[in-house]
Amino acid sequence: MSLRALNLRFPNASKPLRGGAFRCKPGLRSVVIRAGGGEVNGPRRVGGFKRVDMATLGNLCVDIVLNVPKLPPKPREERMAYMERLAASAPDKKHWEAGGNCNLVIAAARLGLQVITLGHLGDEIYGHFLLDVLQEEGIDMVGLAEESEISHGSVLYETLLCWVLVDPLQRHGFCSRADFSNEPAFSWIHKLSERIQKAIQQSNILFCNGYAFDELSPDLLVSALYCGISAGSAVFFDPGPRGRTLFKGTPEQQRALEQFLSHSDVILLTSDEAEALTGITNPIVAGRTLIGRGARLKWVIIKMGANGSILITKSNISCAPSFKVNVVDTVGCGDSFTAAIAYGYLHEMNPVNILALANAVGAATATGCGAGRNVASMAKVLEILRQTNVDDDIDFWSNLVDLESTREEVYLLSKRRVNGSSNGIIHVPIQTVARQLISKLDASQDGGRNAGHRRDEQAMKAAEAGCAHLKAVEKSHPWSPSYLGHVSQQFQQNSLMGPSNSLGDEFWKITGEFLP
């Protein structure tokens, strides 16, 4: 039986395999099965036995990146007319790029995380383009909509396009049809399908950002939030620029925003966004305020742009200045940064190391043009870490941290070569941190390459053991032998192991406890 014939996506929980992470890429999709133990450098399993590191919710789009003499006008009607002129003819494919949460999942996959994205794509050229991009990066996509909900041929069911417009001064403007509707773009999706719920339940992290509110109803997003919580998944939320409008939006939007701010495990914001949600200008004080309000909130991460980033917990504050690089384009830097935060969270790294990695990944993306497939490569991240060239502005951080009113320990990534305290701030040497990160990333890459064949063999043995057991229990099982034979045949020939497939579910119910 060929490994390529198997589709091991999200089977019901079975007895976990012993040993380390087990990754295979059957057919056109990829999957990870996390083992029960024995992986020293592997990610934490937040809610027990999980098969995916991170799932992103919504915000899938194709970016159309165009150079324009000037950015679109601000008045709504003029802006709409501007976009309609742009959309009158299909742009050349050389201007297309994967956008939205594609930036995040591509960056995360390149760091070695197993990611899936949950969203809606139309059955047209743009949807096919995105699927091809995701497939090339080894990323699975699970559709939010049931086939019965989709009306083919209607613009409401097409893939979202975002026009990314760049003027001669390299300033960016953005337009999409979601900007001109009072309803979410996919308001016809009313509930989470069973396969989406299973995908969330099988993910260590569920990521959602404010742009998801442009596509999906607040009630649907809240149901996804609680689906993740009930499954023991960590929820990451980045309100983004939409946080301001949600904060002053409809009662449903305000309630949903409050639920995400209170019940997420990790919140990511820029300093301006933190101020908009709290009314507090100092980002550290704003982060502390959000921590105090959050019932489940563990981390607040403040993105400080060119200055660096901050990670705030109830017990300490960690700060990391940015890396000095030649900035070409900042689009996608925040998404790439978030991918590294997820990596650090899952691998239980210390906060300063997490911020250093996230800053390096964001900086690596900034050295390229555009996002999507142009986000940080592992090679560029390692290059930046080896240079250890951080912007060591001690005065900036000392002024930002109000030590007189700060009870938490304060850590700062620094060029100082020896750990030590100065003015109440504990300095952590960038040389030490970079060495640790490089070692970890190198080990992850080598381990993935060396373990590939062994993991594929384990996949084959597990599948063959399951099929053999089906044959062994045909006579004694209360189900008819013919039905069990049908299940076995479908499993082997048609790869029926997906989250929405009853035959795949039955296979795992029957064979799970007998697998190695």
Helix H or strand E segment including 236: strand 234-238
- How many angstroms separate the CA atoms of 336 and 320, rounded? 16
Closest CA to 413 of 440, 443, 392, 387: 392
Q: How many other C-beta atoms are found inside a 10 Å radius of the C-beta of residue 474?
A: 16
Provide the pLDDT for residue 150: 58
CA Rg value for the chain: 24
Domains of the chain: 3-450 (3.40.1190.20)
Provide the pLDDT for residue 469: 60
The answer to whether the beta carbons of residues 140 and 29 sit under 8 Å apart is yes
Q: How many other C-beta atoms are found inside a 10 Å radius of the C-beta of residue 56?
A: 31
The answer to whether the beta carbons of residues 173 and 71 sit under 8 Å apart is yes
pTM (whole model) above 0.85: no
Provide the pLDDT for residue 83: 84
Q: How many other C-beta atoms are found inside a 10 Å radius of the C-beta of residue 502?
A: 9
Provide the pLDDT for residue 58: 94
Q: How many other C-beta atoms are found inside a 10 Å radius of the C-beta of residue 140?
A: 23
- How high is the mean pLDDT in each 10-residue block of the chain (516 residues)? 29 27 30 29 56 95 90 87 83 91 97 96 92 95 76 70 86 82 87 94 97 95 97 97 93 97 97 96 95 94 96 96 93 95 97 98 92 93 96 88 76 82 84 96 68 45 58 55 53 41 47 42
Provide the pLDDT for residue 233: 97
Name residue 50's amino acid.
Answer: K
Task: Look up residue 162 and give its two tokens.
Answer: 């975002």
The answer to whether the beta carbons of residues 153 and 123 sit under 8 Å apart is no
Provide the pLDDT for residue 369: 83
The number of residues making up the chain comes to 516
